[in-house]
Amino acid sequence: MVNIQLSISLLIMFTLIVFLPNLINNYVDIAAAEPLTIKGEEIKELQNLTKSSFSIENKNVNYYNKTSGYLAYPIIENNTKNLTDKKLPGIIMIHEWWGLNENIKNMANSLAKEGYVVLAVDLYNGQVTDAADIAKTLVSKVRDNPSEAISNLQSAVRYLASLENVNSSKIASLGWCFGGGQSLQLALNTESDYPLAATIIYYGNLVSDQESISKIKWPVLGIFGDQDQSISVNDVKNFEKILTSTGVPNEIYIYEGVGHAFANPSGDNYAPKETADAWQKTLDFLNKYIK
């Protein structure tokens, strides 16, 4: 009986040794033969590709009078067809009070890698600083002449909408601090022929006038910190209440224990964990409403 069991065991081992490698190789060959295809022109199809497939191009472009912005858009390296042949969602990105610096350009690049055409605007006519006193002066100039900033942003929307690779019905605005407030101002002053599809505000100055807020006809994402000394939690909750009461879809998040500009990696208030979570919420929001 023992000899019979031993013989059976030896036969099974011999079979595995001889035939298993061929079975494995055949499976690998079949899997490797599956082609990577892109169907149609919908950007959602492109999300099935790995992130390593995406690369970007960027350049400075003149979009308003003599003002230049930073344009970033995606391409696919492993496909002969450039993404500029497709209609992609667009984003107007608005800088903090430091100006259109490298941090903002890097953020534009990051969003471009996610499948967006991003125009980072310049409201300072080329000036960039890392000194708070100079930044304060630059912000004051913009706020003393709000119509000029609005004209700049409206022109940015028109420029982005005119690009062949942009879906003009899927344009959002996104800004931090000073830029967050300007993102809201653009929403309140959007041209009827160029409506936005979404607005994102990172701890920007808010408004409390219901009539003004009722002009917004698209979803709003708001990111704030409960330790912000310039934008109170009460102001944020009031803003959220008005958005809801006027029928504006909204997602408002107030992070505990963080202050103003907590998402700026170069600032003293930088909170990496909260920043990562807020950024993921931003990507999810954009994916939901403009992709």
Report DSSP state, residue 79: S
Residue 20 has a CB neighbour count (10 Å cut-off) of 10
Query: Helix (H, G, I), strand (E, B), or coil: what is residue 6?
Result: helix
Task: Return d(Cα 238, Cα 232) in angstroms, integer.
Answer: 10
- pLDDT digits 0-9 by tens, 53-86: 479 999 999 999 999 999 999 986 655 455 556 7
Task: Return d(Cα 131, Cα 109) in angstroms, integer.
Answer: 25
Task: Give backbone dihedrals phi and psi of 256, rounded to 5 degrees, phi first.
Answer: -80, 140
Task: Return d(Cα 21, Cα 3) in angstroms, integer.
Answer: 28
| Topology adopted by domain 43-289 | Rossmann fold (3.40.50)
Q: What is the pLDDT of residue 75?
A: 87
**Hey, where are the domains in the chain?**
1-34, 43-289
Task: Give backbone dihedrals phi and psi of 167, rounded to 5 degrees, phi first.
Answer: -80, 105
Report DSSP state, residue 99: -
* Radius of gyration over every alpha carbon of the chain, rounded to an integer in angstroms: 25
Give the length of the chain.
291
- pLDDT digits 0-9 by tens, 190-221: 999 999 999 999 999 999 999 999 999 999 99
Residue 290, token pair as written in the block: 């403009």
Across residues 12-17, what is the average pLDDT?
44
